[in-house]
Amino acid sequence: MRVLTLTLLLAVAASAQWTQFRGNPELTGVLPAGAVPKNLKLLWTYEAGESIESSAAISGGAVYVGSQAGDLIRVNLADGKLRWKYAAQNPIGESSPAIADGIVVVGDLAGVVHAVNAADGKKLWTYATAAEIKASPVIAGDRVIIGSYDSQLYALNLKDGKLLWQFKTKGNVHATAAISNGLAFISGCDGVLRAIRLADGKQAYEILTGSYTGASPAIVDGRYAFFGTFDNDVHAYDLQTKKRIWRYENKQRQFPFYSSAAVTGGKVMIGGRDKFMHCFQQSTGKELWSFQTKARIESSPVVGDGRLYFGSNDGRFYVLDVNTGAKVWEYELGEPLSASPAVGGNRIVIGSQDGRLYCFGAQ
């Protein structure tokens, strides 16, 4: 009975947290079991003033998100009431907060990394890179890993922001790093998938993809990488053999893939600027189904309990059946949803370009 109770408590605790972009270090977008109620309704909204393209982090009953107004905000997950607002002084774009040890970290479009006390919103430290930051930070132990448009991947000390190492690529570092087996993986704008050692910032290996890539890689079982590219295709790689195992391209609809993939149960699900959400067989790349929205999809989907959740630039938030691609539910918000969903405490939160943060929960 005690073991069962402990297991239940751990499951509840896990479902209440979404501490970084895509929900986990491997960036797979997978939800804990029972994380989202089957029947959803809008519970609250928060007006941030300007577009929200940052995806939220959820921890300790609070939601953290950045906005184009230049603010990092904390609101209550329960009711959406503002707890504090930190002025970054510059717009926060797609960079999404990460939280650990009571510290919230985010990057802004002036190229500054901000670390803020989660309890009261007070600045702890900043670190200036040489160009804008659109990548989201990931926290691995005592270090913050984040890329910049100055072509560098940085490792900063979580407590004081001191530079631990930096690695120079041959293009903008737009993608968020996926962390697995002591390595940071970045799918680069220089057409190279790189594995960088967390310990010292040295490159362990690289795989030439030949494609300009804005999407972040999803890493599965420490061995496989999946991501879309601006060459209008989706790639899958075996990290052990360093070989591409499949590639998807629709020659009739040539549009980039900007969304990051959700991967679970042998399926890879990714949205495209072709307006479709695609589902591929993980092992072969065979398309299992596709679902068409009315505008391009830049929101990265999250998946759990047989359902897929994402936003579209058509202003709708969608829920699909993972097995069939059939629409289960949708909610029309009106303005583009390029941010990705965050899940915690049996609620799902997403920002919109209308400047509002939306929270859905049980009916």
Ordered by start, the domain boundaries in the chain are: 95-208, 212-338
Helices and strands in the chain, H and E counts: 1, 32
Tell whether domain 95-208 is in CATH 2.40.128.630: yes
Mean pLDDT of the chain: 94
In percent, how much of the chain has pLDDT > 70? Answer: 96
- Looking at residue 15, its pLDDT comes to 55
DSSP single-letter state for residue 281: E
Confidence check: pLDDT of 359 > 50: yes
> Do the domains 95-208 and 212-338 sit in the same CATH topology, yes or no?
yes
pTM: 0.95
Confidence check: pLDDT of 11 > 50: no
From residue 6, give the alpha-carbon distance in Å to each of 11, 12, 13, 32, 176.
9, 10, 10, 16, 33
Q: Return the structure tokens found at 97.
A: 């907060």
Q: Which residue has the tokens 């737009």?
A: 174
Distance (Å, whole) CA 246 – CA 284: 6
Task: List pLDDT tens digits, range 307-357.
Answer: 999 999 999 999 999 999 999 999 999 999 999 999 999 999 999 999 999
**3-state DSSP call for residue 63?**
strand
**Which of 260, 257, 335 shows the shortest CA–CA distance to 296?**
257
Confidence check: pLDDT of 135 > 50: yes
Task: List pLDDT tens digits, range 194-250.
Answer: 999 999 999 999 999 999 898 999 999 999 999 999 999 999 999 999 999 999 998
- Looking at residue 124, its pLDDT comes to 98
**Which of 200, 259, 252 shows the shortest CA–CA distance to 229?**
259
Confidence check: pLDDT of 5 > 50: no
Phi, psi dihedrals of residue 9, rounded to the nearest 5°: -65, -40
Place 16 in a pLDDT band, splitting at 50, 70 and 90: confident
**Which of 60, 59, 125 shows the shortest CA–CA distance to 97?**
59
DSSP single-letter state for residue 31: P
Place 9 in a pLDDT band, splitting at 50, 70 and 90: very low
Average pLDDT over residues 37-55: 97
From residue 31, give the alpha-carbon distance in Å to each of 14, 19, 198, 350.
9, 12, 26, 15
Class of domain 212-338 (CATH, top level)? mainly beta
Q: How many CA atoms lie within 13 A of 263 on its CB side?
A: 25
**3-state DSSP call for residue 175?**
coil
- Looking at residue 1, its pLDDT comes to 45
Q: In this predicted model, which residue has the larger pLDDT, 289 or 2? A: 289
Q: Which residue has the tokens 């479009």?
A: 109
